[in-house]
């Protein structure tokens, strides 16, 4: 019967009398809704991972919370949109987004971080906030406050595997995330630049004594972080096919939570925590109710901070925050 | 070094003290020009509405002054930005009313701003009329100086829902709303469920409200859940920029079902989200409306909007542009009809005359038909149930928001 | 007679001053709280409940709310001991968001529809509270209490060795800060006579921190200067129309660049004192 509530479709008797926390129906139907929600959660998780990584690059190496990353994400999205709307291919959009965001990141590093290297950490954080305000204003004036939408979605073909529908764009987002994370991990663990990054993170002064140009390294950290945020912006903007100057705001706060949960200095931590929080959020909505979702996510973050401050994948020593 | 700095600091402090002192001085006398005020969001998430409103008011100001002004005096509309922050809207009203001595204020736009600005309107004894607030009861709580040139969403829904039911043979709906937006949450949480019940439509997620937050990018979980419930139609109660996210997700997951919502959906952006999904929403004005007055209005305003930098090149006059145009026009008519002089010594009396004129207003020739105000301060005017599909809005039903005891449209 | 416009702005300054002071108190012990909007929200809702539904007079309602909020602050202060620096900041951020989410779901106080019914308070009343608390802090700053707080901030281990109980001081600071933020919220609620959960977001918490950092993070009156700046600057920048906020952001960065400890610091106030005795 069209439109009848699933509780009436068969399955348990008295299903209308007590409210079960999940849609009751044929076994198969429940499982494939669950699986669909998992796919939703993983896609959202990929979003979080990329932005969390972007935060954590600067946070882990420099100890600074760069609040402008959310706007780098947003700008990356707009640059990517501009390329796609000019009918140019996706890889070019990705490159444009990453390059554009990285360039803006350099400006922020020179004006908003370098001068505050020796200041208490709250000062560079607030200066990046200033940049965030400037970038949002510029974006509103250049592109307008209304959602900018793609007429035809990119990579829209959908594949159905066992009742679960997933689009090519979603697969691209998840795949690109894994590739970007792996590339970043390679750079950090195996290249000399990565070694230098880790050295500065460990102890800036000693690193300089050993010949590492700390200012060059911080510049590289900002650039990489910007490029990652820009990539996230392109991928996510194209997946959702609509963008406003304010998309960074909500998602930024959640990404900070993801960074903390995964372990601020751990790259692989963000890769695990992102999908974990994405799935947690989606399952809370699906089975607990949309209203408590924020409560659950931030509550989980606080719990991790209290019980295991180094994050899920953090090392045994808990990171001592520098004096604020 | 430090002493130079400290000297500069104390100099700055002195300067600030002088400014505060200036604030305490009585404000200088005004020349007899007719001043109206407006509060619009020219920055922030609704910047486009605010900038379009600004162009609309500037057009009206020019039209009036080219036509000889009001009883010979020049019209001057002071437009202030509230940046979509309610606290700034209250300061704007205080400035317009207290310092710029305007006779009446058009705005603010959002219900959040109206909730805190209307009490200030009562405090300053200046009429304020919102061009877009539709959250139930906002003007009602703030009589007699607060008005709204909009119709309560409950009244609009009472005509929209039966049409929706009939046109698409709807027996069941799922409701999803923006929990962070007061108007959307009221419509989605209270008004729509009640209307559905009245019309014999079952809400399949009645015990399990589906919502998201303003600014969320991802609503895949909510839409998957809705899809599993398989309703005939969907209620999307959210501002159009958020509704775009929901509609696109519905399309992405293959859930092509008719959608109904409040006036918040009315926009050109939403038509691009999922053109094959029919959207039913009420409006008091739309750009392709037929009739001498609306057509002239659109013909005059559209080219000005499209020329303005910062506004998209395909922009059309919106319902809120029409509303604010009507508000300012009503003020001008009030001024002409009640013998308002615009002289500073008569300011309080003039403002009261405008308020009384508006309270008794009936049959004012608006862009979509005659306008009046009811006892709650909301507009009695014609409205249209629009269906948006394949890139255009078409009018399907004409309704009127008159309550018993008031003349109709 | 003061222009209503400036009166409104001064009311905003007073409320923001209290918010800034709430951050300043906690910052004095070396802890950065990015979630004080949560305590402000608790203050706003509780005070409104007490005056509108329980019928208490406003002053009593504010006192009760400050005490309750202070208690909540103490409770928050304990787990906060385990965290330092930016990690504590993030935890407080999470706390602030959780409080906002809580009020969004609290149907009894309106939820997203907001809450009405409060009566209006005068500018004088707001500033009585603001000035009194500012004065209290200025006096405390010259006392042993503040010296202890600064000692804990500078070096907790050394402070412990000298016999200070860092736990009491740090947790106590959270409680005190929470109480002051709650008063800010209660005054806010009765100034605007309507509140909604969106008023108490991360943006508000950041405003408090900005006021302190810009105005002077080492002295109490710094929050006053910062509050004046944050309220008045957007008004003075109106002539820039749609570039208003970009200009504000640029000024923010510029101010931090020029004087990172904020406009006021102990040296500035000392100069004033010397002039008086000279």
Q: How confident is the model at residue A307 (pLDDT cuts 50, 70, 90)?
A: confident
**Which chain A residue's Cα is nearest to C26?**
A324
Burial of C132 (0-12, 13-18, 19+ CB in 10 A): exposed
Least confident of A148-162, B42-56, B125-139: A148-162
Q: B339: phi > 0 → left, psi -120 to 50 → alpha, else beta; which? A: left
Report CA dihedral (B227, B230, B233, B236) to the nearest 10 degrees.
-30
Q: How does pLDDT run across B174-212, given as a tens digit for each residue? A: 999 998 888 898 899 889 999 999 999 999 998 888 999
Return the residue of B nearest to A294 by Cα: B213
B249: nearest CA partner in chain A? A240
Mutate: best of B44, B53, B85, B228, partner A, most A CBs <10 A: B228
> Where does the pLDDT of residue A28 fall: very low under 50, low under 70, confident under 90, or very high at 90 and above?
low
Q: Quote the CA–CA distance of C196 and C182 in Å, as a whole number.
A: 15
Map residue B36 onto helix, strand or coil. Answer: strand
Measured CB to CB, residues of chain B less than 8 Å from chain C are: 2-3, 5-6, 9-10, 16, 20, 23-24, 26-27, 42-43, 47, 51, 80-81, 83, 86-88, 90-91, 94-95, 97-99, 112, 115-116, 119-120, 123-124, 135, 141, 179-182, 185-186, 310
Residue of chain C whose Cα is closest to the Cα of A68: C249
Chain A residue at shortest CA distance from B207 = A19
Contact A244 B310 (CB under 8 A): no
Reply yes or no on whether the pLDDT at A288 is more than 80.
Answer: no
What is chain B's mean pLDDT, rounded?
88
Residues C117-127: tens digit of each pLDDT: 999 999 999 99
pLDDT of residue C157: 84
Pairing relationship of beta strands B75-81 and B34-40 according to DSSP bridges: parallel
Task: Please tell me the distance in Å from A140's CA to the nearest CA on chain C.
Answer: 9
Cα-based distances in Å from C154 to A117, A319, B184: 19, 19, 49
Residue spans of beta strands (DSSP E) within chain A: 148-149, 158-161, 164-167, 242-243
Antiparallel, parallel or unpaired: β B370-373 and B364-365: antiparallel
Asked whether residue C260 carries a pLDDT value surpassing 80, the answer given is: no
Within 10 angstroms of residue A111's Cβ, the number of other Cβ atoms is 17
In the stretch 112-171 of chain A, residues with CB closer than 8 A to chain B read 137, 140-141, 144-147, 149, 151, 153, 156, 158, 165, 167
Measured between CA atoms, how close is C17 to chain A, in angstroms? 18
Is A250 within 8 Å of B311 when comparing Cβ atoms? no
The CA distances from residue C108 to A290, B194, C103, C116, C201, in Å, are 19, 20, 9, 12, 20
| Range name among A28-42, B197-211, B257-271 with the lowest pLDDT average | A28-42
* pLDDT the model gives residue A87: 87
Beta carbons within 10 angstroms of residue B363's beta carbon? 13
In this predicted structure, the answer to whether residue A322 has a pLDDT above a threshold of 50 is no
Residue B106 pLDDT exceeds 90: yes
Q: Kindly determine whether residue C228 and residue B181, on different chains, have CB atoms separated by under 8 Å.
A: no
Report residue B348 as tokens: 């309080």
User: Are the Cβ atoms of B252 and A153 closer than 8 angstroms?
Assistant: yes
Share of chain A above pLDDT 90, in %: 19
pLDDT at A124 over 50: yes
Q: In chain B, pLDDT over 70 holds for what percent of residues?
A: 91
Q: Is pLDDT of B48 > 60?
A: yes
**Set of chain C residues whose Cβ sits within 8 Å of the Cβ of B125:** none
- Using CB atoms, which chains have 3+ pairs under 8 A with A? B, C
DSSP helix/strand/coil, B175 = strand
Select from B2, B120, B186 the Cβ nearest to the Cβ of C113.
B186
In this predicted structure, what is the pLDDT of residue B132? 93
Omega before residue C41 within 30° of 0, cis: no
DSSP code for A9: S
Q: What's this model's pTM, rounded to 2 decimal places?
A: 0.87
Q: Contacts of residue B122 in chain C, CB cutoff 8 Å?
A: none
- Quick one: which of B369, B351, B353, B350 has its CA closest to B409? B369
What integer is the mean pLDDT of C211-239? 90
> Tell me, what DSSP letter sits at residue C240?
G
Which among C1, C4, C271 has CB closest to B97? C4
Collapse the DSSP code of A222 into the 3-class scheme (helix H, G, I; strand E, B; otherwise coil) and give the result: helix
Tell me what ipTM this predicted complex has.
Answer: 0.88
The pLDDT value given to residue B171: 95
Q: How confident is the model at residue A2 (pLDDT cuts 50, 70, 90)?
A: very low
Whether pLDDT at B295 is above 60: yes
Res. B51: pLDDT tops 70: yes
User: Is pLDDT of B65 > 80?
Assistant: yes
Cα distances (angstroms) measured from residue A42 to each of A28, A129, B118, C85: 21, 30, 46, 31
Which of A:24-63 have CB within 8 Å of B? 25, 29, 33, 36-37, 40-41, 43-44, 47
Encode pLDDT of C141-156 as tens digits: 989 889 889 888 888 8
Q: What is the pLDDT of residues A246-283, one digit of tens each?
A: 888 888 888 888 888 888 777 778 888 999 999 999 88
Mean pLDDT in residue range A97-121:
89
Q: In chain C, what percentage of residues exceed pLDDT 70?
A: 97
Peptide bond into A186 cis (omega under 30): no
pLDDT higher than 90, residue B236? yes
Q: Counting one residue from A and one from B, how many pairs have CB atoms under 8 Å apart?
A: 124
The better pLDDT of the pair C218, B9 is held by C218
Mean pLDDT of chain A: 81
Q: Specify burial of residue C31 (Cβ count, 10 A radius: 0-12, 13-18, 19+).
A: buried
Q: What is the largest CA-CA distance in chain A?
A: 76
pLDDT score of C245: 85
Q: Which residue of B has its CA nearest to A37?
A: B221
Instruction: Tell me how far the alpha carbon of residue A263 is from its chain's centroid.
Output: 14
Chain C residues with at least one Cβ partner in B under 8 Å: 1-9, 12, 104, 111-114, 116, 120, 192-194, 196-199, 228, 234-235, 238, 241-242, 244-245, 259, 263-264, 267-268, 271-272
Residue of C91, C154, C241 to mutate when probing chain A, most A C-beta within 10 A: C91
pLDDT number for residue B23? 53
């Amino acid at each position: 019967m069209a439109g009848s509530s699933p509780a009436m479709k068969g399955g348990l008797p008295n299903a209308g009398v007590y409210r079960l926390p999940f849609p009751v129906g044929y076994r198969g139907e429940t499982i494939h809704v669950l699986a669909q929600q998992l796919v939703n959660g993983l896609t959202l998780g990929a979003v979080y991972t990329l932005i969390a990584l972007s935060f954590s690059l600067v946070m882990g190496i420099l100890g600074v919370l760069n609040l402008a990353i959310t706007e780098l994400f947003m700008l990356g999205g707009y640059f990517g949109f501009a390329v796609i709307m000019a009918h140019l291919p996706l890889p070019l959009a990705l490159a444009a987004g990453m390059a554009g965001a990285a360039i803006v990141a350099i400006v922020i590093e020179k004006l908003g971080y370098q001068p505050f290297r020796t200041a208490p950490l709250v000062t560079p954080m607030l200066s990046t906030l200033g940049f965030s305000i400037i970038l949002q204003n510029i974006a509103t004036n250049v592109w307008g406050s209304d959602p900018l939408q793609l007429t035809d979605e990119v990579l829209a073909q959908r594949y159905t595997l066992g009742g679960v529908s997933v689009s090519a764009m979603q697969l691209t987002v998840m795949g690109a995330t894994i590739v970007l994370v792996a590339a970043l991990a390679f750079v950090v663990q195996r290249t000399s630049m990565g070694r230098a990054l880790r050295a500065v993170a460990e102890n800036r002064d000693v690193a300089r004594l050993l010949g590492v140009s700390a200012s060059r390294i911080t510049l590289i950290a900002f650039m990489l972080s910007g490029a990652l945020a820009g990539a996230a912006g392109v991928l996510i903007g194209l997946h959702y096919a609509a963008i406003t100057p304010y998309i960074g705001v909500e998602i930024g706060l959640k990404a900070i939570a993801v960074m903390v949960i995964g372990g601020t200095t751990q790259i692989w931590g963000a890769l695990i925590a992102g999908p974990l929080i994405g799935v947690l959020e989606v399952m809370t909505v699906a089975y607990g109710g949309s209203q408590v979702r924020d409560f659950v996510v931030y509550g989980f973050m606080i719990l991790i901070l209290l019980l295991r401050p180094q994050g899920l994948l953090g090392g045994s020593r808990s990171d001592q925050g520098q004096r604020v | 070094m430090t002493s130079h700095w400290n000297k500069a600091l104390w100099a700055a402090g002195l300067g600030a003290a002088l400014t505060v002192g200036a604030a305490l001085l009585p404000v200088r006398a005004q020349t007899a020009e007719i001043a109206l005020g407006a509060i619009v969001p020219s920055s922030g998430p609704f910047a486009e509405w605010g900038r379009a409103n600004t162009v609309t008011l500037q057009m009206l100001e020019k039209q009036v002054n080219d036509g000889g002004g009001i009883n010979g005096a020049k019209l001057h509309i002071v437009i202030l930005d509230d940046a979509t922050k309610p606290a700034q809207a209250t300061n704007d009203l205080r400035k317009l009313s207290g310092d710029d001595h305007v006779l009446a204020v058009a705005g603010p736009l959002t219900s959040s701003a109206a909730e805190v600005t209307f009490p200030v309107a009562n405090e300053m004894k200046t009429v304020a009329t919102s061009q877009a607030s539709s959250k139930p009861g906002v003007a009602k709580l703030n009589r007699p100086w607060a008005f709204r040139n909009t119709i309560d969403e409950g009244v609009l829904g009472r005509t929209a829902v039966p049409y929706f039911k009939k046109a698409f043979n709807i027996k069941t709906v799922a409701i999803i709303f923006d929990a962070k937006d007061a108007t959307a949450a009221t419509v989605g949480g209270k008004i729509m469920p009640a209307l559905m019940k009245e019309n014999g439509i079952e809400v399949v997620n009645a015990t399990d409200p589906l919502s998201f937050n303003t600014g969320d990018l991802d609503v895949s979980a909510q839409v998957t859940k809705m899809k599993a419930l398989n309703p005939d139609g969907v209620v999307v109660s959210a501002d159009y920029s958020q509704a775009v996210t929901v509609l696109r997700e519905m399309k992405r997951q293959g859930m092509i079902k008719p959608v109904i919502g409040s006036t918040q959906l009315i926009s050109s952006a939403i038509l691009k989200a999922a053109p094959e999904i029919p959207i039913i929403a009420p409006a008091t004005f739309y750009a392709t409306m037929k009739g001498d007055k609306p057509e002239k209005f659109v013909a005059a305003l559209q080219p000005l909007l499209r020329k303005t930098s910062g506004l998209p090149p395909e922009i059309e006059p919106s319902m809120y542009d029409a509303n604010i145009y009507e508000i300012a026009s009503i003020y001008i008519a009030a001024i002409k009809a009640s013998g308002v002089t615009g002289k500073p010594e008569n300011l309080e009396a003039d403002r009261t005359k405008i308020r009384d004129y508006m309270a008794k207003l009936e049959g004012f020739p608006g862009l979509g038909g005659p306008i009046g105000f009811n006892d709650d301060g909301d507009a009695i005017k014609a409205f249209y149930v629009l269906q948006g599909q394949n890139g255009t809005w078409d009018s399907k039903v004409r309704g009127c928001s008159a309550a018993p005891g008031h003349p109709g449209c | 007679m003061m222009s209503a416009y400036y009166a409104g702005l001064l009311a905003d300054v007073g409320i923001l001053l209290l918010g800034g002071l709430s951050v300043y108190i906690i910052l004095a012990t070396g802890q950065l709280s990015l979630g004080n909007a949560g305590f402000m929200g608790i203050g706003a809702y509780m005070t409104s409940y007490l005056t509108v539904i329980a019928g208490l007079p406003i002053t009593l309602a504010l006192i009760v709310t400050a005490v309750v909020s202070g208690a909540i602050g103490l409770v928050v202060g304990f787990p906060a001991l385990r965290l330092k620096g930016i990690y504590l900041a993030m935890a407080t951020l999470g706390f602030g968001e959780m409080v906002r989410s809580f009020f969004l779901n609290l149907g009894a106080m309106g939820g997203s529809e907001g809450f009405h019914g409060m009566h209006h308070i005068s500018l004088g009343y707001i500033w009585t509270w603001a000035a009194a608390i500012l004065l209290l802090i200025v006096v405390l700053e010259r006392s042993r209490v503040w010296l202890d707080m600064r000692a804990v901030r500078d070096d907790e281990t050394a402070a412990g060795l000298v016999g200070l109980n860092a736990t009491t001081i740090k947790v106590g600071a959270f409680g005190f800060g929470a109480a002051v933020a709650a008063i800010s919220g209660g005054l806010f609620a009765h100034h605007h006579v309507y509140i909604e959960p969106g008023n108490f977001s991360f943006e508000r918490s950041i405003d408090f921190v900005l006021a302190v950092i810009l105005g002077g993070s080492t002295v109490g009156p710094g929050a006053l200067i910062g509050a004046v700046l944050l309220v008045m600057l957007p008004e003075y920048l109106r002539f820039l129309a749609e570039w208003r906020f970009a200009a504000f952001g640029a000024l923010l960065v510029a101010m931090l660049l020029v004087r990172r400890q904020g406009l006021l610091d102990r040296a500035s106030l000392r100069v004033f004192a010397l002039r008086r005795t000279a």
